[in-house]
Structure 1
Amino acid sequence: MKADAAAGGAQAGDERDALFLGIDTGGTYTDAVLWSQAKGVVAKAKALTTRHDLAEGIANAADRVIATAEIDSGIIRLVSMSTTLATNALVEGQGGRIALIMIGFAEADLDKSGLRQALGSDPVVFIAGGHDVHGQARAIDIKALKAVLPDLAKTVSGFAVCAYFAVRNPAHELAVRDIIREKAGLPVTCSHELSAKLNGPRRALTTVLNARLIAMIDRLITATEGFLDKRGIHAPLMVVRGDGALVSAAFARTRPIETILSGPAASLVGARHLTGLDNALVSDIGGTTTDVAVLDRGRPRLDPEGATVGGFRTMVEAVAMRTFGLGGDSEIALNDQALIPKLKLGPRRLVPLSLLAKNHGPDVIGHLERQMKAPQPGRLDGRFALRTGVPAALAAGLTASEAELHDRISQEPQPLDRLLSSTSQTATLNRLVARGLVHISGFTPSDACHVLGLQQNWDADAARLGAALFIRRKDSIGRPLAETPEALARQVHDALIRRSSEVILETAFAENGLDGPHTVASPLIERALSGKNGIAGVRIAVDRPIIGLGASAPIYYPAVGEMLGVEAMVPEDSDVANAIGAVVGQVRVSLTAEVNQPVEGRFRVSAGETIRDFDDEDTALAFAAATLREQAAARAAQAGTDEAEITVSHDIRAATVEDKRVFVEATLTATASGRPRIAH
């Protein structure tokens, strides 16, 4: 049922009937819905996501939904989209090669907050500069930056800039940004633009990830805008942020890190809208990831410490969502170190063999049949490589071996047993996959569902051949992994149900303050999930229903509910919940200002790029509040609303010394929210 009206939705009169187009671009499918406040879902459609040309998948889904509704596309008055592309990129370790400029930091800071791990082999440049806690400047070394810029500009797709205490004074970040733009002409992300919190290394980490994602989100938005223009849809384009709020496309272009968990956040908004449930565990399974979160008293819980995706704790405020590398397209590997080999799912996404054959014709089947005829199984059987189709500029900075292999891979799938000739080349291929330049195809849970007849949308023959090749492998004592392709497919299907139950429990235990993964791995929980009880039996249950979302949710979640002893709802339109969530939200932005005393009797206001000193506390606080209101109004307009309501909260910290109140510091937060502007 459609339980909610859109928050901040269209008001009386014809605006209640205004049609909104919601789009969700996932790793495998692009979904589209037409929605109005008066009628709810008017029509829905799906198309395959086309990573080589995102416009194609978007156009296919949107054209289908417009044709289904039999409307003139020109009457659409708002377009809003959610996407899992940023989330998937971080989970899979992908993104453009960037350079990090650290101002006023030491190299030891790279070992904090996972910054060194996030950087990988990307270059980092340390220059003198930065500020102290009160915003007082240190000397900056611009010459050192100018010396390295010409070479860096040839090998990276963007820059991340982080200065010491930039949240108190961003002057050095702004100076470096301007130099990079002038000399290199590449995108630049400054840390103070993304967070007002201290902890420089984690702010640098967030900035690095943002810089990596800019090209990817820019391609998505450009593709969408191109489609809308060709179809005569002259309506504002919005993007869902990770906290479920909407922002304009222009806003999202410069701050793509805020779209991590965009798809999951939209799914939560959509789940609440579709079911009317106030309290639930929401689990959204896609091709690459499963996202699990808690609905509590009608609202998604937000993570006060910042979103964690791909193992990195960012400073991005987002839903308290746990993202697992588990989906219908997860890589299936064999853990054959154990006495009884176990199937391992994910975290890497593969292109399912059934989808590969559907898109690329009989050559895929031909290679699979050739490998089946070989007298001995090969370690690369059932695997293919093909380019993702991203712009050539994103291949900058490849090593000689990477460039050579990249040149031999084309847009058409090539079997790995003929492409690779050594183990070292496998490692090289994996690096190209991590850069987002190459896809690997192999047997996945989606293929298993085709073997079992649970899915029929792609090529079942390729799926069955993939399963047949997989079971030719033997375990450590020479036993086959399964007797038939169907038996393997059932093992994979059951493994995904089991793992889906585990990730839901991990989330529930973590919400209770426990170590989720460690608790789920305990023998008692293992026994409860397997149902293998002895004299003493163990049962497990959660306190609220599960809402299963995603195109494949009906295949798995009824069994997940049975395993966890709770109702599992798969609502109507759950397959497009993200796209629905994209059009029923509202714009919301927050900004903060700090007031402190660099010396006694002087009150310094730091509000973004505005730094101002005052002689008394009340005047400083009043100026900070007024400045924040102006900045929040401007930011809300950039984010896509003309009717923002603004609230300002004060957190004033003071001490009592010898019965006298002594001001320490204050944090002011302005929140602006309103419905998105629509075409008239």
Structure 2
Amino acid sequence: MVLSLGVDTGGTYTDAVLIRDEETVIASAKSLTTRTDLAIGVGKAIQAVLEKAAVAPAEIAMASLSTTLATNALVEGQGGRVALIYIGFREADLGKHGLHDALKGDPALVIPGGHNHAGGVAAELDVDALRAFLAAHHGISGYAVAAQFATRNPAHELEVARIITEVTGAPVTCSHQLSSKLNGPKRAVTAVLNARLIGMIDRLIGRAQDALRNIGIDAPMMVVRGDGALMSAEQARERPIETILSGPAASIVGARWLTNVDNALVSDIGGTTTDIAVIRDGKPMIDPAGAQVGGFRTMVEAVAMRTHGLGGDSQVHPISEGLTGGVTLGPRRVLPVSLIAAEAPEAVHAALDEQLRMTAPGEHDTRFARRVPNVPTDGIDARAETLLARLGDAVLPLNKLLQSRLESSAMTRLIDRGIVQVSGVTPSDASHVLGRLDAWDTEAARKGLELFSRKRSGNGARLATSPEEMAQKIIDQMTEQTALTLLETAFAEEAEDFGLPPQTLARHVLTQRALANHRGLLALDAALNVEVVGLGASAPSYYPAVGECLHCKMRLPEHAGVANAVGAVVGRVTFRRSGTVTSPAEGKYRVHLETGPEDYLDADEAMTALEAHLRDVSQDAARTAGATDIHFVTERDIRSAQIEGQNVFVEGTIMVEASGRPRVAVE
């Protein structure tokens, strides 16, 4: 009997599951994710699942981790302070392709250098400017390096990385190591995001490994990539960007394993996001353009996933415009009032009671702040330092913490860096008030929704007359926004082009009237034509109403609340490596490798050499990750042209995939 442990660390909960012989779930458990020290939540979830199954730690043969932390960080704009070294491009290029947004005000240096499309040197690398930049900037948690045509010749990226390591010792991400494709600006965005995530994911994996050792589990630990495959913990620490959509990808793998469904939409609701993907012919769809999350299009190979800032802990915003008013949800996650009250009951209830005694609603009602320990604060400004000093280790209401409008901006920067967390009214609080959830402090949730219901619409009326009415409005809004996200995905994946963007089609008056089964001179009907697999701990609370709205079968499988952890266990180790052969001159065939270009006199010889290299590299990566019984799949794509009646080689690309099951510990 082989016992495998799957762990998923989400924004709110950490899940653990035990699977026997890759066939049967024998136990599952949950614990609150402890951002102050992730090992606490991981350890509690593992201890709970071992106790449920009456299993000794030494019996665990493999452990695997999936996480939504990287995805959540990008959606919420969080992460460490980074710097970009942009080689061979123009200063104006920083304003294009989302680089300014990805940098979020962090420093960048544009210097001469880079190569041309054939791998030759385009300009000499300006090393002096680089060294001056490094001397002038401090408090950088990770560097991103992106050079023009680095996938054709990475020499300048490697030299810059060497100098940065020598001078600063900080981790460096080179764009050519993340993708072999052209498109320097897109590789640069991917490298920046990778550098921003390194500290966060390194802490998560390190503390998860600590938790396993402390419990007595001596088994190899794997991490789920964004395409649902597994890699080693060490590989994930070097390339954390590949863990974006890790949790959602694991949920797709888990959904397929739990239901054996061949064609469906899979919708996974967590605390921060709702992640929707398509299963066709039993396989998750892979996004050919690269993973998109938090508004950024990356070059990370991942499941075709639509990630929306919509979850059980999404911030509820009042809509004051118009005569009726209402609410909208997300995209930022906040601590539910019921949760922060469970952690600091005296401080929270005292502040809520004081706010309830006020005759008019306050701007910061229900809003509390707490510091997240062990998060680096390098590079924050003086105003932010003042706020942190005032906050200390306490839980404080924002109306007492913030003393000016300027401090509100400083607070936003601290939240973006993940240094401070704030609370607010959420769908989880609404579920407590309606009796659908009792995990935390229901009385605090009632007080929070009473305060929120006092906010006014455009005609001066309250948003709701009671906490229960306010809670139902929030849940109804969750149903509406979830249904819209599912419709957007369906329109986006339709083979037929309807002539309008998916978002417009989902909200179009005809679509909405058809879902309501309009009957007049016209009879309009609309429905999803595939079933929806609902995943996540809160799916049973929200998704039956979504199925009714979309007139589709809503499947809520057993163990749906821990599907991510299930998927973390049942995946395979898979590594894909690709490369290119070009023809820079007649009779010359150039293989572009990480060590630099190599020239051959014969096209077939060049392609064979590239394939052998990619096979070795992918096999080494799979073995390093702990794969056994490795199998290969190879794809070739050769472009040629007819010139004077002859077929002339233009360019060839090769993709080699190495895959196998992860090695398990044996006694």
TM-score (norm 1): 0.95
Residue in 1 that maps onto 2:238: 254
The alignment status of 1:554 with 2:536, answered yes or no, reads no
For the 8 Å contact 1:592–1:607, the answer to whether it is kept is no
Picking from 183, 190, 194, the partner of 1:206 is 190
Task: Note the 1:158-237 alignment, pairs <5 A.
Answer: 158-237=142-221
The alignment status of 1:331 with 2:312, answered yes or no, reads no
Partner SS state of residue 156, structure 1? coil
The alignment status of 1:592 with 2:574, answered yes or no, reads no
2-side partners of 1:471 and 1:552: how far apart?
Answer: 23
Picking from 663, 667, 670, the partner of 2:653 is 667
Query: Gaps (5+ residues) in structure 1?
Result: 1-16
Q: Spell out, residue by residue over 1:639-669, the C-alpha distance to the aligned partner (whole angstroms, 9 max, x if none).
A: 3313321232211111111111211111111
2-side partners of 1:302 and 1:462: how far apart?
Answer: 43
Distance 1:198 1:418, change over 3 A: same
The alignment status of 1:109 with 2:81, answered yes or no, reads no
2-side partners of 1:272 and 1:335: how far apart?
Answer: 39
Residue in 2 that maps onto 1:646: 632
Partner SS state of residue 395, structure 1? coil
Task: Note the 1:385-424 alignment, pairs <5 A.
Answer: 385-391=369-375, 394-424=376-406
Picking from 357, 371, 374, the partner of 2:341 is 357
Residue in 2 that maps onto 1:5: none
1:529: how far off? 4.6
For the 8 Å contact 1:166–1:192, the answer to whether it is kept is yes
Task: Note the 1:258-337 alignment, pairs <5 A.
Answer: 258-337=242-321
| Count of residues in correspondence between the two structures | 661
Residue in 2 that maps onto 1:479: 461
Picking from 341, 347, 355, the partner of 2:325 is 341
2-side partners of 1:670 and 1:523: how far apart?
Answer: 47
Residue in 2 that maps onto 1:7: none
For the 8 Å contact 1:498–1:529, the answer to whether it is kept is no
1:532: how far off? 6.8
For the 8 Å contact 2:22–2:570, the answer to whether it is kept is no
Task: Note the 1:590-629 alignment, pairs <5 A.
Answer: 590-629=576-615
1:457: how far off? 1.0
2-side partners of 1:630 and 1:44: how far apart?
Answer: 39
Which deviates more, 575-584 or 591-600? 591-600
Residue in 2 that maps onto 1:499: 481
2-side partners of 1:582 and 1:371: how far apart?
Answer: 44
For the 8 Å contact 1:167–1:192, the answer to whether it is kept is yes
2-side partners of 1:538 and 1:406: how far apart?
Answer: 57
2-side partners of 1:500 and 1:411: how far apart?
Answer: 37
2-side partners of 1:548 and 1:291: how far apart?
Answer: 10
Partner SS state of residue 598, structure 1? strand
Which deviates more, 422-431 or 96-105? 422-431
Q: Spell out, residue by residue over 1:388-412, the C-alpha distance to the aligned partner (whole angstroms, 9 max, x if none).
A: 2243xx2111122222212222333
1-side partners of 2:458 and 2:105: how far apart?
Answer: 36
Partner SS state of residue 629, structure 2? coil
For the 8 Å contact 1:118–1:205, the answer to whether it is kept is yes
Give, as a single letter, the amino acid of the residue that structure 2 aligns with 1:375.
T
Q: Spell out, residue by residue over 1:364-420, the C-alpha distance to the aligned partner (whole angstroms, 9 max, x if none).
A: 1111011101222211111101112243xx211112222221222233321011111
2-side partners of 1:540 and 1:423: how far apart?
Answer: 48
2-side partners of 1:175 and 1:210: how far apart?
Answer: 19
1-side partners of 2:475 and 2:163: how far apart?
Answer: 54
1-side partners of 2:522 and 2:347: how far apart?
Answer: 55
1:540: how far off? 1.8
Distance 1:477 1:531, change over 3 A: farther
1-side partners of 2:487 and 2:638: how far apart?
Answer: 39
Partner SS state of residue 606, structure 1? strand
Picking from 538, 552, 563, the partner of 2:549 is 563
Distance 1:534 1:640, change over 3 A: farther
2-side partners of 1:445 and 1:548: how far apart?
Answer: 17
Query: Gaps (5+ residues) in structure 2?
Result: none
Task: Note the 1:520-559 alignment, pairs <5 A.
Answer: 520-529=506-515, 536-559=522-545
For the 8 Å contact 2:154–2:596, the answer to whether it is kept is no
1-side partners of 2:542 and 2:516: how far apart?
Answer: 16
Distance 1:449 1:520, change over 3 A: same
Distance 1:368 1:74, change over 3 A: same
2-side partners of 1:160 and 1:420: how far apart?
Answer: 35
2-side partners of 1:629 and 1:65: how far apart?
Answer: 39
Residue in 1 that maps onto 2:426: 444
1:525: how far off? 2.3
For the 8 Å contact 2:8–2:15, the answer to whether it is kept is yes
1:536: how far off? 3.6
C-alpha root-mean-square deviation of aligned residues, in Å? Answer: 1.3
Q: Spell out, residue by residue over 1:515-562, the C-alpha distance to the aligned partner (whole angstroms, 9 max, x if none).
A: 221111211223345667655443321111010000000011111111
TM-score (norm 2): 0.97
Which deviates more, 618-627 or 477-486? 618-627
Task: Note the 1:32-181 alignment, pairs <5 A.
Answer: 32-37=16-21, 39-137=23-121, 138-152=123-137, 154-181=138-165
Partner SS state of residue 526, structure 1? helix
1:233: how far off? 1.1
Give, as a single letter, the amino acid of the residue that structure 1 aligns with 2:360.
Q
Residue in 2 that maps onto 1:13: none
Give, as a single letter, the amino acid of the residue that structure 2 aligns with 1:484.
S
2-side partners of 1:602 and 1:463: how far apart?
Answer: 71
Q: Spell out, residue by residue over 1:179-227, the C-alpha distance to the aligned partner (whole angstroms, 9 max, x if none).
A: 1111000010000000011111010000000000000110110011101
1:107: how far off? 1.2
Give, as a single letter, the amino acid of the residue that structure 2 aligns with 1:435.
R
